[in-house]
Amino acid sequence: MIGVRLLGPVEIDVDGRTIDAGPPQRRLVLAALAAHPGRPVTVETLIDRVWDTAPDGARRTLHVQVAHIRRMLRQADPAQADDVLRRRSGGYVLDLAPDHVDTGRWHQLLNRSREPDRTDADRGRVLGEALELWRGEPLAGLSGEWAARTREALRQQYLQSVVDWADAVLRSGVPGPVVTRLTEVAGEYPLAEPVAAMLVRALHAAGRSAEALVHYEAVRRRLSEELGTDPGLELRELHRTVLRGEPVTAAVGTGRLDRPVPMQLPADLPVFVGRQEELAALEMTAAAERGAVAISVVTGPGGIGKTSLALHWAHRNRARFPDGQLFVNLRGFDPSGQPVTPQTAMRGFLDALGIPAASIPADADARTGLYRSLTNDRRMLVVLDNARDTEQVTALLPGSGSCVVVVTSRHTLTGLVTGHGARVLPLDVLTDAQSRRLLAVRIGPDRVTAEPAAADGMVSACGGLPLAVAIAAARAEINPRLALAVVATELADTTTRLTTLDEGTGLRAVLSSSYDALSDAEARLLALLSLVPAADFGLAASAALADFPVPRLAALLRSLERQSLLKQHTAGRWQMHDLIHLYATEQADRRLTGPERREALRRWVGFFVAAAYAAGHQIVPNRLVPGFDPPDLAVAPAFTDEKAALTWLVAEQTNLIAAQQLAAAEGWHPAVWRLAADTVPLHKRRGTAEDEVAMWRAALEAARIAGHRPAHMTAQRLLGVALAWAGQHDLAIEHIQRALAAAEYAGDVPAQARTHRVLQYVLGEHGDAAAAAEHTRRAIELFGPDESSPRRADLLNDLGGHLTRLGRYEEAREHLQSALALARPDDAYSRATMIDNLARLEQATGRYEAATGLYRQAVDLYRSVGHDLFEAQSLEGLGEALLALDRTEEARTCWGQALDLYRLYHRLVEAAEISRRLDTVTAGTMASTTRCDGPG
């Protein structure tokens, strides 16, 4: 059985026998084929991998080397050789099963180790088997850009796998072998911080804490001397843990020591040509020693390749940013005219950095402060793509000089230069030679060589614009029998140039040629997609827009992608370059009638209305919004569970807002308020309070215009709830009181009850316990004695809490006990809130022993359902009750646990208050081992 080894010197394996693969160039050809076993590799790709700059006769030399490899294989195993290496149209295929190449076997084992049901011991065994495949440096002794890139990618995978293996083995309680292997790997890669951190952890776990500290210091010194930087946040936190003598119970990068490492970069381009000076300029800015954040602004006209340059540089330098890479498309020049706001982008960054929705501050300045705290002293890259102006960028700048920012824009953004020391990197068009090379890489050098004049004509027509070259190349690429002269002639028609773009780019000619080559269905779909104000296009929404079955729509999208008119930026989601969008909009104006356009947009909005309703009801079953009729669900996708529904809502968040805005502009009023109602679960889980307020304002206005009194009343009330959640309590109370007045005027008793219930909650949060208690009583009265037990229980619980704050303890006790009696036994969250309120009542009346028992029950219940922040609040109260009993050590332990939870969720105000209390309590010791997680 023939196999190939790449994880070390390149070798051929035949039934366990090692066969010398020959001189370096032959080994490189074999490696280039073996990197994709079973898949054809074109001659052009092989030439690019073997030679950085192909010499004359490269094709002939390649064929000679392939013949030598085939001869070696025939000598080693005559029965298989002719079947293993075969000629395919335009290239060769090394027809081996993936596990007959050691890199294929390596990836199979890595995938097996990630299977969710594996134990730590089993995961460690599988990863150990994978690591045994390594025989040294991959592709050892081979030179060239492709070999270097492949080697570096494999090396990064190897280091991560060593860390994952060590984590699994340590969790199994066997630190010995981990220390031995990590010591060897750390010696080979002394600047690899994840390896260093895992070795520190392993030494500490093995009782060799002094050695752990020595190793940390050696790494710190080396980073300072060789890179001019300090260890990352993870390694520094681990160092402090060892200094305190505390156990490390979570792996680096996991558990509560974790700071998520965002990796948001879109995929790098498969083809990148030229721009070496610009790449070097980005490198120089990033490497310069400075106290402030390093900012590069890549500028140039649309289609010039700004995003491609930024992403290519970012991917080449990912290893320099071990704490993560953030990316956002700010859509500053989107034809829809809807740039991404800085605060929307900020929320996305905070989410990627691991901040739960409930912990994202409502105040914009507070969000910016939290973002800069999280990025402080972390080596991170932030790519801000398609920025319109300086204001859009400023709030998204990290505050630490450890970070690097790359901005792309059609404008120079002078404010970043003068105010933040940014360096501007203007991009010019590609030279003819670079454009020709890009064309050759895309369609194959043979076709360019066969029709040099036509190729030159294509290059000239594209005006050095990479986007134009890519589209023209795609036109020829998907039609291999089409003569380049035909394409060049089409592009030479100067009457079709896109006059709204920079003169001389030739983009209109390119787009016209590509558009004319589309089928009727493809052309119609591209025109329809240009109508919607979408950030990107999902499959189901696009199918509704075009009124096509999903399978047919998917095939059309893939075809447009092959022609470089769309880009699939993530699985199942496509984007259109804004210049292509502009051209497609012109075509929509020509080929679609007014009724066709309006009906397509109505289908698109209708899809989002139905899908949001289905998703919202999957997350909160049986959720009814009085006054709003349910939509037609015929086009709604089926969501299997809550996670699938929330994932869809998050992916479509921007488009849901755009759909509501479109519905409002078109006068489709029920869609406006329906979208506001059914995105509430999304906003509550993602911390998007401003978006929720905006959507409810739109719903309120739509209901007013439509004269729909029930919808207006509901929107008024729920706008108040959204405002309260956004921290605007005075305005919230004003809107809810208007809703109450409208319900009373209409004589709508159920609406009155619901509004009193909302108002009592907001007033309670605002600190007006007396008014809150009165509205709670009124809600209970209006709902009536037959009201369902869970809702009545919740209202009685709220009333008990308000009365406790008013000092009316006996009344409060009666209501809280009644609430607990009505609560469902399986509703752990509601029971926890009631027991916590009872604990606060006992504490307020000086019955501290009873309070501690109740607080412990609340902690257990909150913990059982994963409500960490409420658990922290109960722990905080428990600490106060214990301190009142002079059980200081236990109090400090509970406050310490609460502090950990507040810090985990970045609740900085609460964390500061707990820290202050801990500092003021001098009795006792921090070393208490008492736990606060059960009845005591």
| H-assigned helices in 592-688 | 594-619, 642-651, 653-666, 669-678, 680-686
What are the residue ranges in the chain where pLDDT is below 70? 79-82, 89-90, 116-117, 175, 227-230, 233, 248-260, 289-291, 336-337, 358, 493-510, 622-624, 626-627, 686-688, 786-788, 905-906, 922-936
Residues 195 and 162: their CA atoms lie apart, in Å, by 8
Whose tokens are 């392939």? That residue is 66
Residues 101 and 13: their CA atoms lie apart, in Å, by 9
Pairing of strands 2-5, 11-14: antiparallel
Half-sphere exposure of 223 (CA within 13 A, CB side): 18
Q: Which amino acid is at 659?
A: A
Task: Supply angle C-alpha 261, 265, 269, rounded to 5.
Answer: 150
Task: Supply angle C-alpha 889, 893, 894, rounded to 5.
Answer: 120
Q: Measure Cα distances from 144 to 26, 53, 540 in Å.
A: 13, 10, 44
What are the DSSP calls for 68-98, one per residue?
A: HHHHHHHHH-TTTHHHHEEEETTEEEE---G
3-state SS track over 693-714: HHHHHHHHHHHHHHCCHHHHHH
> The CATH number of 520-592 is which of 3.90.1150.10, 1.10.10.10, 3.40.50.2300, 1.20.1300.10?
1.10.10.10
Going by C-beta distance under 8 Å and a sequence separation of 6 or more, which residues neighbour residue 643?
none
Q: What are phi and psi of 299, to 5 degrees?
A: -120, 160
Structure tokens at 246: 């505390």
For the domain covering 1-173, report its CATH number.
Answer: 1.10.10.10
Residue 363: DSSP 8-state: S
Residues 745 and 78: their CA atoms lie apart, in Å, by 94
Residues 317 and 404: their CA atoms lie apart, in Å, by 11
Q: Which amino acid is at 901?
A: L
Asked if residue 404 lies in contact with residue 278, where contact means CB atoms within 8 angstroms, the answer is: no
pLDDT 10s digits, 797-807: 999 999 999 99
CATH class of the domain comprising 827-936: mainly alpha
Q: Which amino acid is at 823?
A: A
Of 305, 451, 282, which is closest to residue 386 (Cα–Cα)?
305
- How many other CB atoms sit within 10 Å of the CB of residue 844? 14
Q: What are phi and psi of 328, to 5 degrees?
A: -145, 140
Structure tokens at 423: 């360096």
Residue 569: DSSP 8-state: E
Of 458, 463, 472, 460, which is closest to residue 511 (Cα–Cα)?
472
pLDDT 10s digits, 768-777: 999 999 999 9
Q: Measure Cα distances from 511 to 458, 468, 499, 668, 734 in Å.
A: 13, 8, 12, 35, 54
Pairing of strands 537-538, 423-426: unpaired
- Give the chain's radius of gyration (CA, Å): 32
Print burial letters for 551-563: b (CB count within 10 Å at least 16), e (below 16). Answer: eebeebbebbeeb
Residues 404 and 489: their CA atoms lie apart, in Å, by 45
Task: Supply angle C-alpha 530, 533, 538, rounded to 5.
Answer: 80
On the 0-12 / 13-18 / 19+ scale of CB atoms within 10 A, 81 is: middle
Residues 147 and 360: their CA atoms lie apart, in Å, by 44
For the domain covering 740-826, report its CATH number.
Answer: 1.25.40.10
Q: What share of the chain is helix, strand, coil (3-state, %, to 5)?
A: 65, 5, 30
The phi-psi region of residue 451 (left if phi > 0; otherwise alpha if psi is between -120 and 50; otherwise beta) is beta
- CATH homologous superfamily of 276-426 equals P-loop containing nucleotide triphosphate hydrolases (3.40.50.300)
Whose tokens are 């630190």? That residue is 175
